[in-house]
Amino acid sequence: MRAGSPRLLREINDRAAIDTLLREGPLTRSDLEYVIGLSKPATAQLLTRLEQDGIVVKDGVRGGGRGPRAQLWSVNGAVAHVAAVDLTPHGAEFAIADITGKVLTEYSAPLPVEAGADVAGAFREATVAATASANLALDDLKHVVIGAQGALNPKTGHLESAPHLPGWSGFDLPGKLSEALGVGVTIENDVNLVALEEMISGEAAELRDFVLVWLSEGVGGAVVVGRRLLRGATGGGGEIDWLRIPGTDGGESGRFGDLVDSPAIVELAARHGFRGDTGWAVVGEAVRSGQDGQAFLAALARRVAMGVANVVSVVDPETVLLCGEVSRAGGAVLAGLVAGELHQLVIPRTPVGLASVPGNPVRAGALHSALSVVREQLFGLAPATAVPIS
């Protein structure tokens, strides 16, 4: 056996043990021994070594049966901390978590969006407040991932396709924020993060190729091929709001996003006798109205399908998943209508379903991304999926 091999084997075994404890939670020594395939003495030595290094800690005992109760072990959450952020024109939603993924605090803060604003300074202040609410300091963070409504150009670091966030555009955004915080910052498209989360814990867990369509205040998309996000040369892969589609309802051709954003849906609903302040409000009312809402929902589904058809014709995915407030309000009714309209426009009989990750899927995806970065840095662990996260 060549020199250095025992050390290499220890590193491999340590990595396997840490990965198992992160995935499966607190385990006994015998549980860990079974999963990673080591002998009882080797597993005991491994746990002692990792405990001395501060990587694992004793975490209670497992009861049941007669005799002594078995000691449980888990990864020490205090080893590192991360921040996940959902950035919108209305502000930022933070989640601060430890290395195990346990969320220590959630925090909301308004942030400036206007051109010329000191967005880096404002973001630093908000991040300091968020970490303080978890009884941490800024330098306790190892990485920050921000989900933003735009496309980050990997060559320049500029946030593009984001007219609603003018103050965050026109400069190296991750570079400036990293400098302001003193910690690495990754900027990711918000819908890409939703797609990542769907692959980890949602409807796309078993899919290799799918398209995600976000319908909310605006429209966005993500394209996954072979379980890898299609990002494009300038980061604009999946930016379906800029698709040009034929005129609908007697109108001229235009941008897809202008036909299915919240104001456009509210206007379309008014023509059919439904009134409300947001697209998801009028769609929800139409669904509850049963047959009376069918004409409006069919017209909306036709608009959605015309944009989706362009992507399906090129990508031919296994499934199209609808997400966002409008999609949630429309539910299975809207998804079924979109599928019917889509199948009139393209050859593939692509199913149309609903994304299933609850809560804030953008922030959840950002959290998984941040954890993947730090776990790879500290432990050499591969990301939870094949999707590149930086």
DSSP sequence for 145-205: EEEESSEE-TTT--EES-TT-GGG-SS-HHHHHHHHHTSEEEEEEHHHHHHHHHHHHSTTT
25-61 burial by CB neighbour count: b if 16+ within 10 A, else e? ebbbbebbbebbebeeeebeebbeebeeeebbbebee
Q: Is 276 helix (H, G, I), strand (E, B) or coil?
A: coil
Cβ-contact 51, 68 below 8 angstroms: no
Taking the C-alpha atoms of residue 323 and residue 241, their distance in angstroms, rounded to an integer, is 14
Cβ-contact 277, 265 below 8 angstroms: no
Q: How many CB atoms lie within 10 A of CB 124?
A: 17
| pLDDT score, position 49 | 94
**Residue 114 — φ and ψ, nearest 5°?**
-70, 155
| pLDDT score, position 286 | 98
Q: Is 62 helix (H, G, I), strand (E, B) or coil?
A: strand
DSSP letter string, 9-36: HHHHHHHHHHHHHHHH-SEEHHHHHHHH
| pLDDT score, position 389 | 40
CA-closest candidate to residue 317, choices 195, 232, 202: 195
Global pTM reads 0.91
Q: In the chain, which segments carry CATH 3.30.420.40?
A: 79-194+360-376, 203-354
CA-closest candidate to residue 246, choices 174, 159, 306: 306
Q: What is the largest CA-CA distance in the chain?
A: 79
Taking the C-alpha atoms of residue 203 and residue 354, their distance in angstroms, rounded to an integer, is 8
The CATH number of domain 203-354, selected from 3.40.50.2300, 2.60.120.20, 3.50.50.60, 3.30.420.40 = 3.30.420.40
Cα four-point dihedral sign 176, 181, 184, 189: negative
| pLDDT score, position 358 | 87
The conformational region for residue 229 under phi > 0 = left, psi -120 to 50 = alpha, else beta, is beta
As its CATH architecture, domain 79-194+360-376 has 2-Layer Sandwich (3.30)
Taking the C-alpha atoms of residue 45 and residue 361, their distance in angstroms, rounded to an integer, is 40
- Integer angstrom CA distances of residue 364 from 86, 145, 197: 9, 10, 7
The H-or-E segment that residue 360 falls in is none
| pLDDT score, position 352 | 98
| pLDDT score, position 390 | 40
What are 361's two structure tokens? 């899927």
In CATH, the number for domain 5-75 is: 1.10.10.10
What are 311's two structure tokens? 């992507």
| pLDDT score, position 62 | 82
Cβ-contact 126, 142 below 8 angstroms: no
Q: Which residues of the chain have pLDDT under 50?
A: 1-3, 386-390
Cβ-contact 228, 182 below 8 angstroms: no
What are 9's two structure tokens? 């084997």
Q: In the chain, which segments carry CATH 1.10.10.10?
A: 5-75
| pLDDT score, position 331 | 98
